[in-house]
Amino acid sequence: MEPVYRPRLWQFAFAMLFGAFALVVSWLAFNPNVADDYRAYYIDRTSSCFPRITSGYYELGTPATFVAGRSGHERDTLRWCGFIEANRQGIRTFGDYGILKLRFAVPDEDLLLSFTSTTNAKTSEPPRDVVVEVNGTKIGTVTYSSAARVMGSMTIPKDVAAANTEGGLDIRFNVPRIGPPGTNSEPVTLQLRLTALRVVVASAAPPPPETRITGALPKGVVVKK
Amino acid sequence: MSDVTGDSVVAPKNRWQIPPFILIPFYLMAIGVLLRYAVYARSSGHWGFVDYLRALCVYDCNAYERLALYGYEGRPSGFDKGDANNWAFFPLYSILAWAAAQISGLSVLIAGSILTSLLTIAAALVSWPLFEGRMRAYFLFCFFLFLGPASYYFSTLYTEGLFLLLTVAAFVLLRQRDYMTAGLTGAIMSATRATGLLIAASILIQAFQDHLKDGGSARGFLAGIFKRTDLMLAVAMVPIGLCCFALYMYFHTGDALAFVHIQRAWGRAFQNPFSNLWLALTMQFKNGWALTTITTDLAFGLAAIAGMALSLVLAIRGQWAMAVFCLGGILLPLSTNTYSMIRFVAGLAPLLIVASIMLARWKWLYYLTLPTLLILDVLLLQTWTSRSYYLM
């Protein structure tokens, strides 16, 4: 014999009320009102880092150090997205790319970007290419085949330097994926460590250190060796 | 004759006594706190009790303390990637810790630690009917909470004590067929942890089982479900806690699911839980059978398997409402990754209860388990205070 239940109006009314509340919240959940960088990193997961709030202050021509303990590193104004904060080995990328934001009055001349870097590349594995972009334009590729220090040096054409609407340079280092995702679902990527960086007016630049740069360069880009 | 020589001469019949099941949690809690404090003082050389509480307060404890002190943070900037903040932490426990601090005039750390211990005692007391008079199993359960290797979760600012209390309360209410109060408890659970939502499934399953017990059929239950306004209301109440939190998050961040999305900072993303489990179990052996240590991945994977096995035991015992709740409580976090799985399994009350019942079934096993738990509690104290990933 089936048990008999008597429905109660007040129970039904409250159940509908709570259900409606849950529906309203669900609608809000599917229609977030957030900034693009938040959406890209946390919701769509199309970006591999969440940008810091930073001024990007940089004095053209001065060297910037990323090594903890060295003079000036504590200002930390350039590290914008995808770089873990400075330690004694410098700043390190953690996703598909790391971006430095440099804000200064851009002169109407070509600039020279130079940086000191290392990676966790191994001699037993294939060489790894890191593509460098400035203001969205590729300016060069640096190949790492071991953990040895590599001095990067590449010219930034004046039209590329002037392309940033905020005035300055967004320097992006695209690092390759070197392994499948681990238990945290994030892809394993090459870790690029930067220890120092400098941008100078190309005409006033000192002779750059020798560096191995590979890959096709865009038209008009000159790599000094 | 027996009246002359028996207990009634020593203890008059009308003398009021506190039942042992009430005293046990209080005694064990006091012994546990004193023991761990003594071990801490001996090993660290610090005698301050607040130092001890501070040393116990690691990982999420700091987050709940900050949440109680300062509320939810703004733009994420925490951790080394600069993408974390405290949106991941559900609000109820921190609200209670804040209120306890306000009322007592103590710091959030001290008031919160006392609150957690009291909530855990309350959880033990409320759980008594679920043991159906098995005193040995009940004692083992209390021993695990206050003197076992997971005692840290139940004595510092973690949600485990509160969630344990609410879970046992919900299942005791379901046992009494009080579905609506169980639903109300579920609303509080979902304001404590996301897995609190799972109690909605338990309510329906328990109601179904009760319907069958009353002579009804599965078909009759489904046919008459729209007349069960008590169940509708019970189930509709469960998500209210979470919805209130989501609504707050929407106004605070613009994203009602910010507490889900921020999990990326902890490396969590929804995937197949079983592939996550397989990855965790095999990660250590990718470069050969190295068994000299157990990695955190392997430890978390094994904890998940143990939890699922105990859920299966609950199902075999016919306790489907508990089984589904626990299985969901494991699979839901496992679908993001295996981190903290030891803590998540240790925080599922039905698993602890069924494990206690099993281990207390044989006296030799029971007497072997007690000192083992105690030794682990003492040995792991330093591991816990040194922020071990295994226990986080």
What's the CA gap between B102 and B111, in Å, rounded? 9
Under an 8 A CB cutoff, do B81 and A43 touch? no
- Whole-number pLDDT of residue A2: 84
Residue B359: name the closest of B324, B323, B392, B310 by CA. Answer: B310
Q: Please tell me the least confidently modeled range out of A91-100, A199-208, B128-137, B200-209.
A: A199-208
Cβ within 8 Å of A, B 161-180: 180
CA distance B349 to chain A (A): 27
Do B24 and B124 form a contact (C-beta atoms < 8 A)?
A: yes
pLDDT digits (tens, 9 = 90+) for B110-128: 999 999 999 999 999 999 9
Q: Which residue of B has its CA nearest to A34?
A: B254
pLDDT surpassing 50 at residue B1: no
pLDDT digits (tens, 9 = 90+) for B232-268: 999 999 999 999 999 999 999 999 999 999 999 988 8
Under an 8 A CB cutoff, do A22 and B269 touch? no
| Contacts of B238 by beta carbon, 8 Å cutoff, 6+ apart | B183, B186, B187, B189, B190, B196, B197, B199, B200, B203
Cβ within 8 Å of A, B 318-357: 337-339
Provide φ and ψ at B291, rounded to 5°: -120, 20
Under an 8 A CB cutoff, do B236 and A38 touch? no
Query: What are the tokens at B304?
Result: 């998940």
* Beta carbons within 10 angstroms of residue A61's beta carbon: 14
Mean local confidence (pLDDT), A151-159: 94
Residues of A in contact with B340 (CB under 8 A): none
pLDDT surpassing 80 at residue A30: yes
- Whole-number pLDDT of residue A105: 95
Interface of A to B at Cβ within 8 Å reads: 1-3, 5-9, 11-12, 14-16, 18-19, 21-22, 25, 28-29, 32-35, 38, 41-43, 45, 49-50, 52-53, 84-85, 94, 182-186
Partner residue facing A5 (CB), from B81, B228, B261: B228
pTM: 0.89
Under an 8 A CB cutoff, do B227 and A7 touch? yes
B80 to chain A, any CB pair closer than 8 A? The answer is: yes
- Whole-number pLDDT of residue B330: 97
Mean local confidence (pLDDT), B215-234: 94
CA distance A201 to chain B (A): 32
Under an 8 A CB cutoff, do A42 and B261 touch? yes
Task: Tell me the Ramachandran region of residue A141: left when phi exceeds 0, alpha when psi lies from -120 to 50, beta otherwise.
Answer: beta
- Whole-number pLDDT of residue B3: 44
Q: Which residue of A has its CA nearest to B211?
A: A3
Reported confidence tier of residue B8, pLDDT bands at 50, 70, 90: very low
pLDDT surpassing 80 at residue B12: no
pLDDT surpassing 70 at residue B101: yes
What's the CA gap between B61 and B307, in Å, rounded? 24
pLDDT digits (tens, 9 = 90+) for B316-353: 999 999 999 999 999 999 999 888 999 999 999 999 99
- Whole-number pLDDT of residue B181: 98
User: How far is CA B161 from each of CA A176, B112, B145, B296, rounded to the nearest angstrom?
Assistant: 45, 11, 9, 24
B6 to chain A, any CB pair closer than 8 A? The answer is: no
What's the CA gap between B207 and B204, in Å, rounded? 5
* Beta carbons within 10 angstroms of residue A220's beta carbon: 11
Under an 8 A CB cutoff, do B211 and A3 touch? yes
Do B174 and B131 form a contact (C-beta atoms < 8 A)?
A: no
B281 to chain A, any CB pair closer than 8 A? The answer is: no
Under an 8 A CB cutoff, do A15 and B297 touch? no
- Whole-number pLDDT of residue A69: 82
- Whole-number pLDDT of residue B79: 86
CA distance B298 to chain A (A): 11
3-state DSSP assignment of residue A137: strand
Best of B214, B243, B245, B287 to disrupt the A interface (most A CBs within 10 Å) is: B243
Cβ within 8 Å of A, B 202-221: 211, 214-217, 220
Q: Which residue of B has its CA nearest to A17?
A: B236
CA distance A47 to chain B (A): 12
Cβ within 8 Å of A, B 10-69: none
Mean pLDDT, chain A, rounded, equals 89
Provide φ and ψ at B149, rounded to 5°: -70, -10
pLDDT digits (tens, 9 = 90+) for B187-221: 999 999 999 999 999 999 999 999 999 999 999 99
Mean local confidence (pLDDT), A118-125: 92
pLDDT surpassing 50 at residue A4: yes
Which residues, in sequence order, are bridge partners of residue A97?
A174
Measured in whole angstroms, how far is the alpha carbon of residue A71 from the centre of its chain? 24
Q: Which residue of A has its CA nearest to B187?
A: A18
ipTM for this prediction? 0.89
Under an 8 A CB cutoff, do B232 and A12 touch? yes
3-state DSSP assignment of residue A45: coil
Reported confidence tier of residue B294, pLDDT bands at 50, 70, 90: confident
Reported confidence tier of residue A172, pLDDT bands at 50, 70, 90: very high
Partner residue facing A84 (CB), from B81, B237, B276: B81
**Which residue bears the tokens 């053209």?**
A60
Residues of B in contact with A25 (CB under 8 A): 243, 246-247, 250, 256
pLDDT surpassing 70 at residue B95: yes
Mean pLDDT, chain B, rounded, equals 93
